[in-house]
Amino acid sequence: MNNYLKYALLVTGIVAVIAFFGSTMGNTVQAVGAFACTPAHQNVKVGELAKFSVVNGNGHGYHWSAPNGNPNSGTGTHFSTSYAHAGTYTVTATEANHSAQCIVNVHAPAFTHTPTPTPTPNQTPTLHPSIGINKTVRNVSQNGAEQAGIIARPNETVEFALQIRNTGNTILDNTYVLDVLPSGMIYSGNTSTLDGSFLRDGVTTGGLDIGTLTAHPAPQP
């Protein structure tokens, strides 16, 4: 099974649709012409810089606020900050009478335990669960091809495709997939499929159980 999940959305406003690749599932959709902070969502590690930019502003007078960040404020079109502790943080960009927020999910560095060698010849290998996701989007109304980002207009239908792969060395049971919709889009019912077979609705609400993923670890260099 390829674990290839698709679902359709109805666009209610003129939006630029971007499907991010990687292990983070999320849609960044900004109304054309609206003052915004980008990327709207991002994941970083403790101590790693989170970088932001203003789009559709007046070109000057931007102020940034990042509570608990280092630095915790700044000015200009671009802004970077880092966090000393794991958690979810909000960064706010303002100009005149407008403001926009971005969300940063900060994760603690992964801890890998190295077992003490024993004289037994058959040691149990360390399990490393891991999952990889490739996400694309296409404009169904325009019969477009799958790509990283598209422009969609009101009343057009777009389709997101998620290719989900177990990249660890252990089986993943009861794998759930949840994708939170941004503003300007409505889920189209009865459009979710997994490897071509229809699933119940729920990928944008409570999540869908896509079952067990067998291990396909990446080759070691």
Asked whether residue 169 is domain-assigned, the answer is no
Over residues 185-200, the pLDDT tens digits come to 899 999 999 888 998 9
Average pLDDT of the chain to the nearest whole number: 82
Asked whether residue 65 is domain-assigned, the answer is yes
Do residues 102 and 44 make contact, with C-beta atoms less than 8 angstroms apart?
no
Residue 19 confidence (pLDDT) above 80: no
Total tally of structural domains belonging to the chain: 1
Asked whether residue 209 is domain-assigned, the answer is no
State what percent of residues in the chain have pLDDT above 90.
37
Cis peptide before 71 (omega within 30 of 0): yes
Asked whether residue 122 is domain-assigned, the answer is no
The CATH number linked to 84 is: 2.60.40.10
State what percent of residues in the chain have pLDDT above 70.
82
Q: What is the value of pTM for the model shown?
A: 0.48
CA distances from 217 to 5, 110, 168, 213 (A): 21, 18, 5, 12
Over residues 110-137, the pLDDT tens digits come to 767 777 777 766 767 788 888 888 889 9
Confidence category of residue 27, pLDDT binned at 50, 70, 90: very low
pLDDT mean over 142-162: 91
Asked whether residue 1 is domain-assigned, the answer is no
Asked whether residue 45 is domain-assigned, the answer is yes
- pLDDT for 174 equals 87
- pLDDT for 12 equals 66
- What do you get for the CA distance between the two ends of the chain, in Å? 26
Asked whether residue 9 is domain-assigned, the answer is no
Asked whether residue 62 is domain-assigned, the answer is yes
Domain containing residue 68: 35-107
Residue type, 181: L
Over residues 44-59, the pLDDT tens digits come to 999 999 999 998 877 7
Coil vs helix vs strand at 56: coil
